[in-house]
Structure 1
Amino acid sequence: MQDPIMTPFRGGPVRYCRPNLRRSTLNFLRVLSVVFALTVLTTSVAPLRAEERASIVRVPPAYPEMAKRMHITGTVKVVVTVDAAGSVLRAESDSGNKMLAPAAIDAVKHWKFAPGDGNATVVVQVNFGL
């Protein structure tokens, strides 16, 4: 092994690390600073997310007549975009029976949610039963 490089500095010798060790330390510090920056960015205050927006006013869905006759029941998941005031901007069906989905979307468009900071995406379930 080689000895550390001896370099005079202000009247006396100072030991420096080997150049490749110094480079790897700098790379480690760069990676560490990026990880720290990403941690700070992802833990900053964010607007309310789907699970955090409670519905204040729920309008019950109108059961489609054809679905009643066919004894179709089930749950429809609706993805709702809510503005800062709690009003519904957009609603679309995510899963569930295709005959029940339009009635669920129409009902959810009349719902009101808790106000929050900015827009939020909320997933709600609308149950249909006879």
Structure 2
Amino acid sequence: MATTPRSAPAGLAAYLPRGRWLLVAGAFLLGWLLFAVVWLAARRDQAVAMGPELPAAVPEEFEPLPRPTPAGDAATPLPPAAGEAPRLVEDAPAPAPAPLPAETSPLPPTIDEAAPVAGEAAQAPIPLPEQSPSPRYPSEALRRNETGTVVLQVQVDAQGQPVSVDMAQRSGSRDLDRAAVEAVSHWRFSPARDAAGNPVAGTLSVPIDFKLE
């Protein structure tokens, strides 16, 4: 005996389209609800992050500066100061100190009036006549008829002996000069004397003339 397939109930087939649209509508509403929740949460976080809104700063107002004075106008005079006007007070100069009296000191003595210092020769040495023979005239100078004057500078010690004999002026003849120095080197003198009369060393000039008679 042949069997036929069981068919779905007719009532269920009639309700299938209507159930599908209900599912779509429910899913749409659920999606809008989720979007609204997410949008509200994001707006709340943005408001917390930004903080309270501060009022805008009010610009400060300044008074306008006065206009500059035109050229040629006189400056505004200052108000007079209260009380007496200031005066320039000049201190009287201090009196100059009186000059001190000049000290009068004695003038130094002149060279002629200067007193001899002790120890210095006040009197030059003097040749002793008996111990100061005339020099010998050189024979060579006699043959050549040589004449002249020799001036000797003689240093004499306190004992009256010549220490040095220097040529202050030559005669022009070597023989005459040598003869004069040799003779005076053996002379004896009275020594020089200081202011107290004591014998001291001294110098003197001795001129010797060589001339033919």
Query: 1:13: which partner in 2?
Result: none
TM-aligned CA deviation for residue 54 of structure 1: 1.6
Q: Kindly report which structure 2 residues correspond to 1:34-73, keeping only aligned pairs within 5 A, or say none.
A: 35=108, 42-45=114-117, 46-49=120-123, 52-56=124-128, 57-73=131-147
- TM-score, normalised via structure 2 length: 0.42
Q: Which has the larger radius of gyration?
A: 2
Q: In the alignment, which of 161, 166, 181 is matched to residue 105 of structure 1? A: 181
Q: Which has the higher strand share?
A: 1
Where do 5+ consecutive residues of structure 2 fail to align? 1-94, 193-198
SS of equivalent to 2:102: helix
Percentage identity across paired residues of the two chains: 27
- Would you say the 8 A contact 1:83–1:120 is kept in 2? yes
TM-score (norm 1): 0.66
Q: CA deviation at 1:104?
A: 0.4
Residue 25 of structure 1 corresponds to which residue in structure 2?
Answer: 102
RMSD, aligned CA: 2.8
Unmatched 5+ residue regions in structure 1? 6-17
Match of 2:202 in 1: 120
CA displacement at 1:125 relative to structure 2 = 0.9
Pick 1 or 2: higher relative contact order, CA cutoff 8 A, min separation 6: 1
For the structure 1 residues 77 and 47, does the alpha-carbon distance in structure 2 shift closer, same or farther, using more than 3 Å as the test? Answer: same
